[in-house]
Amino acid sequence: MNRIAKYLNQHIVGTVYSAPLVLMAYATDRSVLKMYPRVVAVPKNTDDIRKLVKFSNQLAIKNVSLPITVRGTGLDETGAAIGSGIIISMEKMNRILEIDPRQRLVRLQAGVKLGELQSALALHGLTLPLNGNPSLTIGGMVANHFSGSMSHKYGSIANYVSQAEVVLSSGDVIQTVALKPRALERKKAERGFEGEIYRKVDMLITNNEKAIRAIPDPGTNLSGYPLITKCKQKNGVFDILPVLYGSQGTLGVVTELIMSCDLIAEKPQYVAMLANDVKHALRISHAISGLAPSELNTYDVLLFKEASEGSKQLKMFKKLPENGMLVMAAFDDVNMRRRARKVKKLNKILQGKTKIAVSDENNYDEFVELKSILSIYLNDGFKSVRVPLVDDAYIPPNRLVDYYDMVPVLADKYEIKLPVFGSALTNYYSIRPKVDLSSVPGRQFALAFMRDYSKMVTFCGGSLAGGAPEGRLKAVFTNLAMKLEVAKFYGELKDILDPNNIMNPGIKMEASLPAVVRKLRTSYNPGVVTE
């Protein structure tokens, strides 16, 4: 055990590790990058995290670098859950502290997993209407501003967090709260780091109207800190919490949350349709979107043909078109008659010109199995595997035809197959190229592919960081598309909340291509990969 681990173990309730095998286990996330930490800390409470952050900050003041990287379950695809200093694993900060069924509120630690939360809430007839990987931690979902395929109807994680406990880069602990103008002035008058943050952030927003107007909509581009536009409302109410959404642990550590929930709904009714080509699929999607579905996803049928080689087949349709698309809608209206009316109206709109399958008690599993088929496709390969390099790019609806025309051109250039899958409601689309990271040409291919795909997405008016932040990997390319005044504004914001640059440095605006090249893995085995 090294000296740092010994010292920290004497001062926190949790445990700090420096054994090589432990460091190896935390050196990778779901990205194609690898980075060994100096130590791994597993805190048991907020005070542990406060001490760890304060220790790192005090070292930074003395020009000794031991930065902090917070990690949930390591599912980040952009290299934001790995670091060279202290990895703070939230695996023991996993308690659901209180559930209030009447007010539909829950208080929990940030390391609670989504699946665990949903199970606990279900006992009270409640749910968090966000459909993500059950292994995601709630803190990680905040750090990545998680939305999911139902966000068009139910919103993102930001819609459900009412208050958060946060450890700042100084080691101070704050409780976020929406402050009215008078309360804000009192907060700004306080001594200490918290008061300084409120003073400087409020001034930064006030003095940079031009830069703020240039910040993209967070629903289309999560690079940088776009949710700072939500911190100060027109009526003068100020809340520091929004800036933490999508910050990927670069501005503070969220340790506890108070969240609102919703009543649990009946299982949704699914409607699947086969389109002959992209334009047909877009017409179908446009028609369905007017019926307020909870989900509306599209899949290139090539994906199912590739997956069928692994024995899983799409059962609701016996024959798939050669170059078509599957459009899958979900309706979760509480009123079953309303659902039936929507399906009837949809049939009328399609006028028998589109193959359609509707879920019922007898065939429901066939529709649910769609996610299993997608999982088989994503996990196909041995040496060359499908890696999440460019998931969840935002493509404007009016440029989708251009996007779908350009993807086959890119596939031909690299001599690979690139079926597209995504949501027609959120407009986040993904492709998964097969990459052999064990060879130098394979690693060169990965970066060249990301470069070309990023240019293509930008040409279509989209963003590589549409449905998730850019982290360390995507940032190399999203930074090129960021306006200079916006980048400068984000840099000043980072300096205010993290003046000694200890909070997950090297990601977002600080990312660089040489650093990414040095950190590329030579193999990729993350376990079962999901969408």
Q: Quote the domain boundaries for residue 506.
A: 385-519
Residue 110 sits in the same domain as residue 51: no
- The mean pLDDT of 444-457, rounded to a whole number, is 97
Clarify whether residues 194 and 102 are in a common domain.
Answer: yes
Q: Are residues 77 and 119 in the same domain?
A: no
Using 50, 70 and 90 to split pLDDT, how confident is the model at 512?
very high
Residue ending a domain, choose from 319, 344, 378:
378
Q: How many domains are there within the chain?
A: 4
The model's pTM: 0.95
**Mean pLDDT calculated for residue range 271-279:** 92
272 vs 358: CA distance, rounded Å: 6
Residues 403 and 512 in one domain: yes
Taking alpha carbons only, the member of 137, 143, 102 closest to residue 116 is 137
The per-residue pLDDT for 382 is 67
Residue (of 341, 424, 425, 329) closest to 370 by Cα position: 329
DSSP-assigned beta bridge partners for residue 297:
328, 423
Amino acid (1-letter code) at residue 262: D
DSSP SS3 for 315: coil
Do 242 and 302 belong to one domain?
no
**Cα–chain-centroid distance for residue 38?**
26
pLDDT digits (tens, 9 = 90+) for 218-253: 999 999 999 999 999 988 899 999 999 999 999 999
pLDDT tens sequence across 99-112: 999 999 999 999 99
- For residue 47, the domain's CATH number is 3.30.43.10
Among 52, 69, 89, where does a domain finish? Answer: 89
pLDDT at 517 > cutoff 90: yes
Residue 531: the pLDDT is: 58
**Do 101 and 219 fall into the same domain?**
yes
CATH of the domain at 230: 3.30.465.10
- Provide the pLDDT confidence category of residue 82 given band limits of 50, 70 and 90: very high
pLDDT for position 170: 98
Query: Of 378, 404, 424, which closes a domain?
Result: 378
Integer-rounded Cα Rg, in Å, for the chain is 23
**CB-based burial, 163-192: b 16+ in 10 Å, e otherwise:** bbbbbbbbbbbbebeebeeeebeebbeeee
The per-residue pLDDT for 317 is: 86
154 with 196, same domain: the answer is yes
Q: Between 529 and 267, where is the model more confident?
A: 267
User: Which segments of 190-300 does DSSP mark as H helices, in order?
Assistant: 193-206, 209-213, 278-289
Report whether pLDDT(310) > 60. Answer: no
Side by side, the strands of the sheet bearing 105-109 are: 96-100, 105-109, 253-260, 161-167, 173-175
- The closest of 478, 486, 483, 442 to 457, measured between CA atoms, is 478
- The pLDDT assigned to 67 comes to 98
Q: Which residues pair with 260 in a beta bridge?
A: 105
- Which of 270-279, 365-374, 496-505 is predicted least confidently? 365-374
Residues 207 and 321 in one domain: no
Measured between alpha carbons, how far is 47 from 50 in angstroms, rounded to an integer? 5
In the predicted model, is pLDDT for residue 57 greater than 60? yes
